[in-house]
Amino acid sequence: MSRTKYSEAYRKVLSHIVENCKEGERFFTVRHTAELFGISLQTAQKIISELKEKEIVETKRKSGIYIRSLPGIRDLSGTKILLLSGIDDPRFVDAFSLGIRENLNALGWELLYMEEHGLDRNTIGFGDYLISLYNQENAGGIIALAYQNAELAFYHAMSHGCLIISDIGFPNLPFLPSVQTDNKKHIREVVRRFARLGKKQLLVCSYWKEDNVRFRTILEESSSSCPGMEVKYVYLRNETSPAELYRFFRHFHDRKGVLSLDYAANHTVTPYFITHNISPHNNYIVYDNEDNFFNHPGLDPIEAAAPSLKSLGSRLAFRLVERIRNGEWSSPMQEMV
C-alpha cells in the first residue's frame, strides 16, 4: 500500500476512535479492523502499531486491544483561513473559492480573501507581510494561489509558524504542501485526443508567454506521437492576436482544433466560435475551468481537460483542514492531480 493510501486508512481508523470510542473500552481485533475498513491485515496491524506508539490504544495480554486515551480535540469553530492570490483575476479566485468554501462552511470556519496584488513577491518583505497578516487575523492557515518565485518568502513565513498550502509546488521547498495539476499528463491526453479526431492543425491560445510547461509538453507530444500536426501559438497579450485568431477561424475546417491553455483565455477565444458559427464539439477543448465544463452563452458546454479549479480548491481546503485538526500533513506533501 502506498504511503498516501496508508495515511487515508489511518485517518479513517483514528476518526472512528475519536467519534465512537471511549477510554478504557475494548477496540476491534486486527482482523476485524481490516474487515471493517476494507484494508489488508498487514495494513491493519501497522495502524494498530502506530496507535500503540502514540498511546491511543494498548494491548492487554490474553484480553485484546483497548482504548488507552483519546486524541485531544481543540475547539476549532470559527477558525479563519486566509486566501491569497498571485494574480489579479477575480474569476480565477472565485472558482477556487467555490470548492474551498464547501469544506470550510460545513465546519463553521471562515474564509477571508486578502487582496494584496501590489506586493513584490520576490522579496522577504512578502514573508514579513504574511506573518503580520497571520497574527493580525489570528488565522488558522493560509491558502496561496498562483505564486511563483516566492520560496524565500514562504520559507520565512513557515519558519515563524504560519501554516501554508499552495496550488503550485516548489522543488526547492519540498516541505511546502501543495495540490497542483499534473500538467504533462493532462496535456498529453489532449494532444492525443485531437490526433484521434484527425486534427492536423492545432491552435493554442494563452495569456502566458510561449515558454511555459504546458506548451512545451504540447510540442513534445505532437512531435513524438502526432507527426504532421502543425501547432501554432497565439499569445493573447500581443496586439496582433485578434488578427491571428480571425485568420484561423475565417477558414476553419474539420482538420483544425483549438486549445485554450489558461482560464482567462477561455473567455477570449470562445466568442470566435459564435462569431463564425462553428460548433465547439470535437473542435475545442479548454484546459482550466471552474468546473468540469466551460459554459458560454449560446454554446453547448465545452469540455475541460484538467481537474476543475473548484475541485483543486476543495482538495487544498481538505488537506489544510486535516493538518489543523490532526497536527500533521498528509502525504505526499506536493500532490499531483
Q: Is residue 337 part of a domain?
A: no
Output the pLDDT for position 286. Answer: 96
Are 133 and 59 part of one and the same domain?
A: no
pLDDT for 248: 97
Range of the domain at 56: 3-67
Say if residue 284's pLDDT is above 90.
Answer: yes
Instruction: Calculate mean pLDDT across residues 89-93.
Output: 85
Contact 95, 150 (CB under 8 A): no
Confidence of residue 124 (pLDDT cuts 50, 70, 90): very low
Q: What is the mean pLDDT of residues 81-86?
A: 90
Report pLDDT for 121. 46
Predicted pLDDT of residue 117: 42
264 in a structural domain = yes
pLDDT for 301 beyond 60? yes
Q: Are strands 110-113 and 302-303 parallel, antiparallel or unpaired?
A: unpaired
Is 127 in the same domain as 63?
A: no
Question: Can you say whether residue 77 is alpha, beta or left, with left for phi > 0 and alpha for psi between -120 and 50 degrees?
Answer: beta
Please check whether residues 130 and 234 belong to one and the same domain. Answer: no
Tens digits of residue pLDDT in 238-275 = 999 999 999 999 999 999 999 999 989 999 999 999 99
**Average pLDDT of the residues of the chain:** 89
pLDDT given for residue 141 in this prediction = 94
Residues 211 and 285 in one domain: yes
- Please indicate, yes or no, whether residues 149 and 206 belong to a single structural domain of this protein: no
Residue 74 lies in a domain: no
Examine the pLDDT at 122 and tell me if it is beyond 80: no
pLDDT at position 101 is: 92
**Is the pLDDT assigned to residue 119 strictly greater than 90?**
no
Question: 120 pLDDT exceeds 70?
Answer: no
Let me know if residue 336 belongs to a domain: no
Q: What percent of the chain has pLDDT over 70?
A: 93
Same structural domain, 46 and 93: no
* Same structural domain, 132 and 236: no
The residue type at 142:
I
Residue 170 and residue 24 share a domain: no
Quick one: 156 and 201 in the same domain?
Answer: no
Q: Render pLDDT for 202-239 as a digit per residue (tens, 0 to 9).
A: 999 999 999 999 999 999 999 988 888 999 999 999 99
Q: Is the pLDDT of residue 3 over 90?
A: no
Asked whether residue 52 falls in the same domain as residue 135, the answer is: no
Both 192 and 300 in one domain: the answer is yes
pLDDT of residue 45: 94
Instruction: Say if 335 falls within a structural domain.
Output: no
| Cβ contact 330:11 at 8 Å | yes
In this structure, is the dihedral angle defined by the CA atoms of residues 251, 205, 90 and 119, taken in order, positive or negative?
negative
Structural contact between residues 313 and 96, judged by C-beta atoms closer than 8 angstroms: yes
Q: How confident is the model at residue 12 (pLDDT cuts 50, 70, 90)?
A: confident
Domain CATH code at residue 126? 3.40.50.2300
In a domain, 137, yes or no: yes
In this predicted model, what pLDDT tens digit does every residue of 131-189 receive, in sequence order? 888 888 889 999 999 888 888 889 989 998 899 999 999 999 999 999 999 999 999 99
Instruction: Give the mean pLDDT of 110-118.
Output: 72
Gap between the terminal Cα atoms of the chain: 19
Q: Which residues of 32-43 are buried (b: 16+ CB within 10 A; e: fewer)?
A: ebbeebebeeeb
Report the number of distinct structural domains present in the chain: 3
Task: Give the domain CATH number at 30.
Answer: 1.10.10.10
Residue 125 has what pLDDT?
Answer: 60
Based on the fold, state whether residues 324 and 225 are members of the same structural domain.
no
Confidence of residue 1 (pLDDT cuts 50, 70, 90): low
